[in-house]
Structure 1
């Protein structure tokens, strides 16, 4: 009887520790089109589900077929303003979707692929969506320090910067 009680208590403690120990919360989403004849954002907003869970919804209408996608992404951390922090990546989006050859980009891709319509190879045309994206902390590959972060993404179509998406988020790890 004592063994069963000890196992139940251990299970409850572990469940409490893993359920509320980490908070990942998106705080703002900003989408900007530099050339509305190529890309327009219909929706770019966050929706609160609960106190610690926020979902991202994004609709991007691509007016012309895009066969050459280049992505520049940078993770910034807030410390007296947003400063570059650890990751700055440039990659060919069409090549990555065909081969998935970059480990870092693949980790990020695995986080949001189930929420997105961007799951086929180039060319991209028409409505591209991300619906109800929320990060589950168990999918984070490595812990990051507590703080406020900004993910800057520039979308380059046919060698011209056409759009930018900026996602602000807070990460709190309660040790």
Structure 2
């Protein structure tokens, strides 16, 4: 769990699940949370891409838990290679800004070999606006050459600062 305190704000990672649909394309060596201290837990993901990837479509959905995880505000598909070149989608840029300094994905296509997210933790000060208190799931499907190849599901909790409301 990753607790980040800013007043009464709690932004915490609670689980990470990675799955390869095609182990001849993608292998996950690491997909786990690691406790650093009682207030900070980091996400580490090692994905080994066994072939050069020139065509990446990312399908991302944000779910909020309410009697199970239900679709919430966002469901977006985007060209990952184009986004890295132009950073032209404001919503995706918010998520990108959260983890870009912890990732090796900050170069243009093709991607091949080890791709990592290392020691990533959530920081509420990086969000332009607060989100409602609740448990969330960010579900990401990675589509290479028009075929789903892998998925990464990141679970987190957000508790908003209600003193300033």
The interval holding the TM-score normalised by the smaller chain is over 0.9
Q: Which residue of 2 aligns with 1:10?
A: none
Q: Which residue of 1 aligns with 2:100?
A: 113
Q: Which residue of 2 aligns with 1:31?
A: 18
Q: Which residue of 2 aligns with 1:88?
A: 75
Unaligned runs of 5+ in 2: none
Q: Which residue of 1 aligns with 2:6?
A: 19
State TM-score, norm by structure 1: 0.88
Q: Distance in 2 between matches of 1:78 and 1:106?
A: 24
**Alignment RMSD:** 1.0
Q: Which has the higher helix share?
A: 1
Q: Distance in 2 between matches of 1:127 and 1:99?
A: 23
Count of aligned positions: 158
Unaligned runs of 5+ in 1: 1-17
Q: Which residue of 1 aligns with 2:123?
A: 136
Q: Which residue of 2 aligns with 1:59?
A: 46
Question: Shift of the alpha carbon at 1:54?
Answer: 1.5
SS in structure 1 at match of 2:35: strand
State TM-score, norm by structure 2: 0.93
Query: More displaced, 18-27 or 58-67?
Result: 18-27
CA contact (8 A) 1:23 1:52 kept: no
Question: Shift of the alpha carbon at 1:173?
Answer: 1.7
Higher-Rg structure is 1
